[in-house]
Amino acid sequence: MKDREASEGGQAGRRTYGQTEDYILIIATTTKSRKRKSDKAASRRVGAAEEAMNRVPLQQPQSCGSWELKERLGTGGFGNVTRWQNKDTEEQIAIKQCRQELSERSKERWCLEIQIMKRLDHVNVVAAREVPEGMQRMVATNDLPLLAMEYCQGGDLRKYLNLFENCCGMREGSVLILLRDISLALTYLHKKRIIHRDLKPENIVLQQGEKRLIHKIIDLGYAKELDQSSLCTSFVGTLQYLAPELIERQKYTVTVDYWSFGTLVVECIIGYRPFLPTWQPVPWHNKLMHKQNDDIVVYEDLSGEVRFSKHLPQPNHLNSLLLEKMERWLQLMLKWSPKERGKNHKAKPSDCFSQLEIILQLKLVHVLNMMSAKILSYSVSDDETVADLQLRIEKDTDIPAANQELLLEAGLALEPNGLATQCAIDYTELDGRRTDSPLVFLFDRSSCSYEPQFTPRTLPENIRFVQADPCHLLAYSPLRRTCSQAWHTIRSLKEDWQRLQQGQKAAIMSLLRHNSSLSKQKNEMVSMHQRLMAKLDFFTTSLHIDMDKYQEQTATGIGIISQKRHVDRL
List the catalytic residues.
198
| Interior angle at CA 482, CA 476 and CA 486, nearest 5 | 145
Helical pair 351-360 and 320-333, crossing angle rounded to 10 deg: 170
State how far the Cα of 476 lies from the Cα of 482, in Å rounded to an integer: 10
| Nearest CA among 124, 130, 125 for reference residue 147 | 130
Closest CA to 317 of 182, 491, 504: 491
In whole angstroms, give the CA distance from residue 155 to residue 171.
18
Which residues are 407's β-sheet partners? 413, 441
- For residue 565, CA distances in Å to 399, 551, 559, 568 come to 74, 19, 10, 5
What's at 500, amino acid-wise? L
Which phi and psi (to 5°) does residue 337 adopt? -75, 125
Which three-class secondary structure string do you get for 16-33? HCCCCHHHHHHHHHHHHH
Residues 101 and 413: their CA atoms lie apart, in Å, by: 68
Q: What are 375's strand-pairing partners?
A: 368
Contact indicator for 110, 123 with CB cutoff of 8 Å: no
396 and 321 Cβ atoms separated by less than 8 Å: no
CA 489 to chain centre: 19
CA distance 490 to 500: 16
C-alpha separations of 292 from 248, 263, 288, 307 in Å: 19, 16, 9, 12
Give 268-327 as a DSSP string. Answer: HHHSS-SB-TTS-HHHHHHHHTT--TT--EEEE-TTS-EEEESSPPSS-S--HHHHHHHH
Measured CA to CA, the distance from residue 507 to residue 439 in angstroms comes to 13
| Interatomic CA distance for residues 44 and 322, integer angstroms | 38
Cα separation, 281 vs 300, whole angstroms = 16
**127: number of Cβ within 10 Å:** 15
| Residue 308 exposure: Cα atoms within 13 Å on the Cβ side | 11
Q: Which residues, including other chains, have CB under 8 Å from residue 485's CB and lie 6 or more apart?
A: 168, 315, 460, 462, 463
Strand 374-380 and strand 363-369: the pairing is: antiparallel
**Which residues, other chains included, contact 173 with Cβ-Cβ below 8 Å and sequence gap of 6+?**
425, 427, 430, 431, 432, 433, 434, 437
- The single-letter DSSP state of residue 436 is -
